[in-house]
C-alpha cells in the first residue's frame, strides 16, 4: 500500500457558533488533509510535535480513531499545542485568530529525535507539506527539512507541496519566496491558489503564477470555483459544481488536496483528480469546522468509486 507522510502542525480549534458560543475541536492545514486522506483509504502518518498535556492526548486519540498514524509524533514535556479561533461571516468566509508562538510543533526540527524523523521520510511513497509548515521553523530548520526532502526525492519518494501562504507567518516576504523556491525545486506536485499566492508574488495572470511554481504538475485554484491543472505541458481549466449552501469554507483547500492526491495515487489523471478535489471540497464547505462528520463524507469522491467500495 502507498504510504504518505504529512508534516505540519495541529492546533486546538475554537469555532464560533450561535449567540457567540464556542465549540472546541482541533485542526491545522496538513492535519486536515491527513484525516481526509485517511478517510479516502490512504495509509498516512502525521509528523509533528505535541506537548504532554490532556489536549495533546486528545489529539493523538482523535487522529488514531481516524486511522492516521501517530508513531512519528514527538511529545515534549511542558509544552502545549497552539490555539486558533475561527469567526465565520454570513457568506461563509472565515477569519482566523492565532495563539501559537510557543507551540510544541515549532520545535520539531530542533530536537534529539529530529535526525531520525528526517531520515525516515525516505521510507514513504509521498511526502505532503505546506507553506504553513515551512513558516513554523527558522532558517536552519527549514534547511534541514529541504535537505531531507531532497534525499528522499532522490529515491522513490514523491513530494507534494501546498503553497498555502499566510502573511502573518512571514514578516519578510523575500524569506518566504526563497523558502518556497527551495521546496518547489524538489517537489513533484504543487497545489496552489491565486488567493494565497497574490500576497506572496503580487497579483498577476494565472499563467505567470504557474510559471513561478516551476514543477511538472501544478494545480492552481482560482478565485472563482474552478482550477487550472498543468501537467505534461498542457493547461486545463476545470470548473467546480455550484454549491447551494456554503456554511464554512474552512478546510476547503485542505480537503481538495486530499482528494486530488488520493486520486493521483490510485492512478487517476490530473484532470480526474481535480474533479475529485472539487467534489470533496464542495461537501466540506456545507459544514462548520475543518473536519466534517464521518457520516457526511460522500461515497463517490474518487474516480470510479461507488457507495459500496470504501469502508
CATH topology for the 3-296 domain = 3.40.1190
Can you say whether the dihedral through the CA atoms of 210, 215, 216, 218 is positive or negative? negative
Higher pLDDT, 196 or 263: 263
Asked if 121 contacts 146 with a C-beta cutoff of 8 angstroms, the reply is no
Q: Report, as an integer, the average pLDDT of 242-253.
A: 87
Does residue 254 have an active-site annotation? Answer: yes
Task: Point out which residues pair with 87 in neighbouring strands.
Answer: 95
Q: How far apart are CA 188 and CA 170, in angstroms?
A: 24
For cell 459544514, what's the residue?
A: 287
Instruction: Report the predicted TM-score, pTM, of the whole model to 2 decimal places.
Output: 0.93
Choice among 110, 119, 254, 295 that is catalytic: 254
Q: Report, as an integer, the average pLDDT of 236-250.
A: 89
For the chain, the structural domain boundaries read 3-296
**Range from 47-51, 221-225, 306-310 carrying the lowest mean pLDDT:** 306-310
Identify the pLDDT of residue 306: 59
Q: What is the pLDDT of residues 221-240, one digit of tens each?
A: 999 999 999 998 899 999 99
At how many degrees (to 10) do helices 139-153 and 173-184 cross?
Answer: 10
Asked if 25 contacts 15 with a C-beta cutoff of 8 angstroms, the reply is yes
Sheet strand arrangement including 126-130: 73-76, 43-51, 3-7, 126-130, 158-162, 189-193, 217-221, 226-231, 234-239
Q: How far apart are CA 305 and CA 59, in angstroms?
A: 30
Amino acid at each position: 500500500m502507498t504510504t504518505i507522510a504529512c508534516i505540519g502542525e495541529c492546533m486546538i480549534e475554537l469555532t464560533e457558533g450561535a449567540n457567540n458560543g464556542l465549540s472546541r475541536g482541533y485542526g491545522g492545514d496538513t492535519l486536515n488533509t491527513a484525516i481526509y486522506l485517511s478517510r479516502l483509504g490512504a495509509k498516512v502518518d502525521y509528523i509533528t510535535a505535541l506537548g504532554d498535556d490532556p489536549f495533546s492526548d486528545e489529539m493523538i486519540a482523535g487522529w488514531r480513531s481516524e486511522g492516521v498514524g501517530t508513531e512519528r509524533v514527538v511529545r515534549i514535556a511542558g509544552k502545549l499545542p497552539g490555539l486558533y479561533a475561527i469567526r465565520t461571516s454570513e457568506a461563509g468566509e472565515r477569519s482566523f485568530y492565532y495563539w501559537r508562538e510557543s507551540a510544541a510543533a515549532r520545535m520539531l526540527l530542533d530536537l534529539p529525535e529530529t535526525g531520525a524523523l528526517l531520515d525516515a521520510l525516505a521510507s514513504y511513497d509521498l511526502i505532503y507539506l505546506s507553506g504553513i509548515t515551512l513558516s513554523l521553523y527558522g532558517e536552519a530548520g527549514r534547511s534541514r527539512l529541504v535537505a531531507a526532502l531532497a534525499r528522499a526525492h532522490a529515491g522513490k519518494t514523491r513530494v507534494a507541496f501546498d503553497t498555502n501562504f499566510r502573511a502573518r507567518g512571514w514578516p519578510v516576504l523575500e524569506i518566504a519566496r526563497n523558502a518556497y523556491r527551495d521546496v518547489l525545486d524538489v517537489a513533484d506536485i504543487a497545489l496552489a491558489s491565486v488567493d494565497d499566492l497574490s500576497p506572496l508574488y503580487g497579483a498577476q495572470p494565472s499563467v505567470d503564477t504557474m510559471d513561478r511554481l516551476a514543477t511538472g504538475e501544478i494545480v492552481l485554484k482560482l478565485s472563482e470555483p474552478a482550477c487550472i491543472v498543468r501537467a505534461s505541458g498542457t493547461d486545463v481549466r476545470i470548473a467546480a459544481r455550484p454549491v447551494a449552501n456554503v456554511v464554512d469554507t474552512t478546510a476547503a483547500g485542505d480537503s481538495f488536496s486530499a482528494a486530488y492526491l488520493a486520486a493521483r495515487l490510485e492512478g487517476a489523471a490530473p484532470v480526474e483528480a481535480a474533479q475529485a478535489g472539487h467534489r470533496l471540497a464542495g461537501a466540506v464547505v456545507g459544514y462548520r469546522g475543518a473536519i466534517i462528520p464521518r457520516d457526511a463524507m460522500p461515497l463517490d469522491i474518487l474516480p470510479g468509486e461507488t457507495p459500496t467500495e470504501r469502508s
